[in-house]
Structure 1
Amino acid sequence: MTETQERRVVGLVAGSHVVNHAYLVALAPVIGLVADDFGVSIAAVGLAIGVQGGVVTLLQLPFGYLSDARSRTLVLAISLVGGAVGIVATALAPSYAWLLASQALLGVGIAGHHPAHYPLLATASSETNRGRAYSLHALGGSLGFAVSYAIAAGVGALG
């Protein structure tokens, strides 16, 4: 793999890590607003976030197997599409029951990222650059945790 290809793969994987982690915490900065909109407690919204986490937990090993046995890019594609559909469904949820279902779908989208990311990075990066590749991946995840809060703060500032 050429250095340009290596950089492209590392950049794309790190970028998908930004998105993945932004999805993980998408409800956190707006938990009170979501609770008010659905007329439920903050704990009930926490349960919805817990549903997402439960699905992610249940699917880590199956996605890891699929990543190793079939295709890492397939697992990443399933995750990217599932996450996009799940976050849109979450944003458009008309009821608390819909929110629970959309968080489960979002969990499917989140679950496959790490099982696909690490082997893609290991394959794409040279031994001399692997530490930097993993560090850029981790940086992407950290930025992803900040994105949801930054968006919420920006929207809040706009009124």
Structure 2
Amino acid sequence: MKIKGTREYLAPELIAGGSVSRMSDVFAFGVVILELISGQEPVKYRFDRVRKEYESVSVVETARQVLKAEGSADEEEAERRKRVRQWVDRRLRDSFPVEVVEKLMVVATRCVEEEATRRPNMTTVAGKISKLLLESKEWAERVKAPVDISVSLAPR
């Protein structure tokens, strides 16, 4: 059986010739969540002036780097929150609770684990996202953030 799809959304086991499963759908969902949060395409290419060649930059890898822990717990939390704020789609400005976005990034990066058995099932993912929605609504009530949605057709 030949599997067709956009490579950036395909789970590693599918690329290696494995069969479609619920866990491969979880992987694709994780990529979509990271794409929505960051406003970035799943993979983009940039020119490395030193090596004089193009290199691919994955939204999955950049999300993992943003969440990566280094240093003491207190320093790291503040630094990580800063990285999260910088990574999130700039069109959102500061109209979001950073802690909730960080937790959503954690859920999404678990969805894109290389090993299919380490990914959560969609019931678990849906439950976590529902809790995060409630947290963000509570945040919006506290700060009285505008909840209007704007759509930009500008290129990313």
- Report the TM-score when normalising by structure 2: 0.31
| Greater length-normalized contact order (CA 8 Å, ≥ 6 residues apart) | 1
Normalized per residue, the structure richer in helix is: 1
